[in-house]
Amino acid sequence: MYVCLCHGVTDRAIRAAADQGARDLSDLAAMTGASTGCGSCGDLAQQILDDARQSRRLPLAMMQMAA
């Protein structure tokens, strides 16, 4: 799904940026251009980034508990 129409950034691109280390909207903007046009996608982009980062942390925590 397109999140940022100004720069053609998809939810998949946001999740990939999270995998590459994006931690906040500023990182995301630098990596993808999201929210640097009209800015109306900022809240949704941040939610997707937060969700992607949260999903990424879960397996690591589970691995630590198993060790």
Domains in the chain, number: 1
Read off the pLDDT of residues 10-23 as tens digits, 9 standing for 90 and up.
999 999 999 999 99
Give the integer Cα–Cα distance in Å for 35 and 41.
6
Q: What is the value of pTM for the model shown?
A: 0.81
Residue 41: CA count within 13 A, CB half-sphere: 25
Helix pair angle (25-32, 42-66), 10° resolution: 110
Q: Structural domain of residue 26, as residue ranges?
A: 2-66
We report the CATH number of the domain holding residue 28 as 1.10.10.1100
Query: CB pairs under 8 A, 24+ apart, for 53-59?
Result: 53/18, 53/23, 56/18, 56/19
Instruction: Pull the structure tokens for residue 62.
Output: 């589970």
- pLDDT at residue number 2: 98
- Residue 62 in this model has a pLDDT that exceeds 60: no
Read off the pLDDT of residues 8-60 as tens digits, 9 standing for 90 and up.
999 999 999 999 999 999 999 999 999 999 999 999 999 999 999 998 765 55
